[in-house]
Structure 1
Amino acid sequence: MDQWLLPAWLNAAMGRRLEALEADRFGARLWEADATLWKPDDEGHQGVIRNALGWLSVFEAVRGDVATLESFVDDLRSEGYRSAVLLGMGGSSLAPEVMRDVLGVREGYLDLHVLDSTDPAAVLAVEAAVDLETTAFIVASKSGGTTETASFHAYFYERLKELDGDHAGHHFMAITDEGTSLQKEALDQGFRAVFVNPSDIGGRYSALSFFGLVPAALMGIDLERLLDGARAVAVACGPEVPASENPALRLGALLGEAALAGRDKLTLLAEPPLRPLGAWVEQLVAESTGKEGRGILPVDLETPGDPAVYGDDRVFVSVGLQTVAATGYAQQVMDLAAAGHPVVGWELGDVYELGGMFLLWEIAVAATGRVLDIDPFDQPNVQESKDNTKRLLAGFVAGGELLEELPEGDGRVAFPVDDDELPAALAAFFAQARAGDYVALQAYVQPGERVWDDLQALRLELRDQLRLATTLGYGPRFLHSTGQLHKGGPNTGLFLQLVSRDQTDVEIPGQPYGFSVLKRAQARGDLGALRAHGCRALRIDLGDDPGAGVRRLAALVAGALDE
Structure 2
Amino acid sequence: MAIKVSTSGSATDAAKRHLESLVEAKFASRLFAEDPTLWGPAAEDESSKRLGWTNAAKVSQPLVPEIIALRDSLRAKGIDRIVLCGMGGSSLAPEVMTRTAGVELDVLDSTNPAQVRRAVEQDIERTAIVVSSKSGSTVETDSQRRAFATAFEAAGIDPAERIVIVTDPGSPLETASREAGYTVFLADPNVGGRFSALTAFGLVPAGLAGLDIDAFLAEAGSVAAELAEDSTQNPGLLLGAAIAGTDPIKTFLGVVADGTSIVGFGDWAEQLIAESTGKEGKGLLPVVLDTDSPEIGLPIPDLQIARLVADAAETPAVGDEINVSGGLAEQMLLWEVAVSVAGQIIGINPFDQPDVESAKAAARELLDATPEPEAPVFQQDAIAVRGTASVVDGHTEVLEAIESLLAQLPENGYVAIQAYADRIGQPELAEIREFVAHRARRPVTFGWAPRFLHSTGQFHKGGPRVGVFLQITTRESVDLAIEDRPFTFGELIQAQAAGDANVLEGHGMPVLRLELTDPVAGAEQLIAALRNV
TM-score (norm 1): 0.87
Q: Which residue of 1 aligns with 2:30?
A: 29
SS at match of 1:471: strand
**For residues 503-548 of structure 1, what are the alpha-carbon distances to aligned partners after superposition, in whole Å with 9 as ceiling and x for unaligned?**
1100010112210000000000000110111112211222213x43
Q: Which residue of 1 aligns with 2:234?
A: 246
| Mapped partners of 1:299, 1:162: distance in 2 | 43
The CA deviation at 1:304 is 2.5
Contact 2:113 2:489 in 1 (8 A): yes
Q: Which residue of 1 aligns with 2:128?
A: 136
> Are positions 1:439 and 2:439 aligned together?
no
Gaps of 5+ in 2: 377-385
Q: Kindly tell me: are residues 220 and 365 of structure 1, through their superposed partners in 2, closer, same or farther at Cα, counting changes over 3 Å?
A: same
Contact 2:388 2:511 in 1 (8 A): no
Give the residue type in structure 1 aligned to 2:522: G
Decide which moves more: 48-57 or 367-376. 48-57
> Are positions 1:344 and 2:334 aligned together?
no
| Mapped partners of 1:413, 1:126: distance in 2 | 39
Q: Which residue of 2 aligns with 1:120?
A: 113
| Mapped partners of 1:29, 1:90: distance in 2 | 28
Q: Which residue of 1 aligns with 2:55?
A: 57
The count of corresponding residues between Structure 1 and Structure 2 is 519
Aligned pairs for 1:98-177 within 5 A: 98-105=96-103, 111-129=104-122, 131-164=123-156, 167-177=158-168
Q: Which residue of 2 aligns with 1:6?
A: 8
Contact 1:311 1:436 in 2 (8 A): no
| Mapped partners of 2:412, 2:25: distance in 1 | 32
| Mapped partners of 2:121, 2:404: distance in 1 | 43
Q: Which residue of 2 aligns with 1:548?
A: 521
Q: Which residue of 2 aligns with 1:293?
A: 281
The CA deviation at 1:415 is 6.4
The CA deviation at 1:135 is 1.1
> Comparing both structures, which one devotes a greater share of its residues to helix?
1
Q: Kindly tell me: are residues 19 and 232 of structure 1, through their superposed partners in 2, closer, same or farther at Cα, counting changes over 3 Å?
A: same
Decide which moves more: 174-183 or 294-303. 294-303
> Are positions 1:264 and 2:251 aligned together?
yes
| Mapped partners of 1:305, 1:230: distance in 2 | 31
Q: CA RMSD in A?
A: 2.5
| Mapped partners of 2:360, 2:429: distance in 1 | 29
Q: Which residue of 2 aligns with 1:17?
A: 18
The CA deviation at 1:122 is 0.1
Gaps of 5+ in 1: 106-110
SS at match of 1:538: strand
The CA deviation at 1:558 is 5.7
SS at match of 1:279: helix
Q: Kindly tell me: are residues 174 and 6 of structure 1, through their superposed partners in 2, closer, same or farther at Cα, counting changes over 3 Å?
A: same
> Are positions 1:70 and 2:68 aligned together?
yes
| Mapped partners of 2:531, 2:79: distance in 1 | 50
Q: Which residue of 2 aligns with 1:229?
A: 219
| Mapped partners of 2:125, 2:252: distance in 1 | 46
**For residues 408-451 of structure 1, what are the alpha-carbon distances to aligned partners after superposition, in whole Å with 9 as ceiling and x for unaligned?**
x98559969xx7254443333212223331111101111136x4
Aligned pairs for 1:88-487 within 5 A: 88-105=86-103, 111-129=104-122, 131-164=123-156, 167-191=158-182, 193-238=183-228, 240-242=229-231, 244-258=232-246, 260-270=247-257, 271=259, 273-302=261-290, 304-305=292-293, 307-321=296-310, 337-338=318-319, 342-348=320-326, 353-396=327-370, 401=372, 412=389, 420-448=396-424, 451-456=426-431, 458-487=432-461
**For residues 48-105 of structure 1, what are the alpha-carbon distances to aligned partners after superposition, in whole Å with 9 as ceiling and x for unaligned?**
1111111111210111222222122111111221111111111111111111110122
Contact 1:404 1:524 in 2 (8 A): no
Contact 1:382 1:483 in 2 (8 A): yes
The share of aligned pairs that are identical, in percent, is 36
1:47 to 36, 39, 45: 45
SS at match of 2:242: helix
Contact 2:277 2:343 in 1 (8 A): yes
Q: Which residue of 2 aligns with 1:521?
A: 495
Give the residue type in structure 2 aligned to 1:427: E
**For residues 347-388 of structure 1, what are the alpha-carbon distances to aligned partners after superposition, in whole Å with 9 as ceiling and x for unaligned?**
33xxxx211111111111000000000000000000100110
> Are positions 1:83 and 2:84 aligned together?
no
Give the residue type in structure 2 aligned to 1:93: S
